[in-house]
Amino acid sequence: MSLTDGYQMNNGLTIPKVGFGTWQAKDNEAKQSVLWALEAGYRHIDTAQGYNNEEEVGEAIKESGVKREEIFLTTKLHNKKHGYDNTVEALNDSLRKLDTDYIDLVLIHWPNPKYFRDNWKEANAESWKAMEEFVAKGKVKTLGVSNFQPHHLDALLETANIKPAVNQILLNPSEMQPEVVNYNTEHNIINEAYSPLGTGKIFDIDELKDLAEKYDKSIAQLVLRWSLQHDFLPLPKTVTKERVWENADIFDFEISDADMKIIDGMTGRAGSATDPDTITF
């Protein structure tokens, strides 16, 4: 297994099993970290309209020298841009900022933002219709969602012609979201893990320190390997060059079943998922 190995999505296309996240990476920091990631061998880059760094990510891809078709690029719909017309405008804006002819994966970032709380089902259905039209035009390859729970997915599937291929959710040893993960798996939707390192909080868990020493790996490497062994798709984010490379070095060891269970038992030790129906953004 390597950074270029992938999962087959429900539309027949392949998504690399490990991605590089850019949340909270701003300006040149975002650009430089993506350049390092591509140099280290990552071929899956994740951004979002709400991250305000699409232009920098696009610049890094252009300057990296890596062929565009070798890179799997994801962005996500802004919470203020739900609805048909808003989505068309937003996706055209992302294509311009990313300076690309197509986007590999577009996600609805949150199912129930405060701006559309009274009609979130209809707003999601309208956004999805617009996204499906971008697929038909070849401007988007694959559609997915983020932070969707089963009732949000059930509502979307009532009108969707294209089934979501990915659900990007908070997944790490502290928060495994079993109900959502099981739903995704049953519906052939890939479980993509954002904040797979718990936004840094997992580094304070002593048992993880002991296990990392046992495998002669860092805590980050251990937890990313744990994610892969659960068939999740982790999106580690860092703006430190050494850690970009370190987080990619996770394919030369395997965690035992017993140690996987120990890590599985760390629920709640480093935070939990936000309720998408009560977010204030």
Which active-site residues does the annotation give? 51
The DSSP output letter for 109 is S
The DSSP output letter for 9 is P
Asked if 57 contacts 30 with a C-beta cutoff of 8 angstroms, the reply is yes
How far is it, in rounded angstroms, from Cα 223 to Cα 246? 12
CA 150 to mean position of chain CA atoms: 18
Q: What three-state secondary structure class fits 62? A: helix
How far is it, in rounded angstroms, from Cα 196 to Cα 194? 5
Residue with tokens 């979201």: 177
Kindly report the length of the chain.
281
Strand 14-16 with 6-8, pairing: antiparallel
Q: Amino acid letter at 206?
A: D
The b/e string for 81-111 (b: 16+ C-beta within 10 A; e otherwise) is bbbbebbbebbeebbebbebebbbbbbbbbb
Q: At what angle do helices 257-264 and 206-214 cross, to 10 degrees?
A: 160
How far is it, in rounded angstroms, from Cα 219 to Cα 12? 34
Asked if 65 contacts 37 with a C-beta cutoff of 8 angstroms, the reply is no
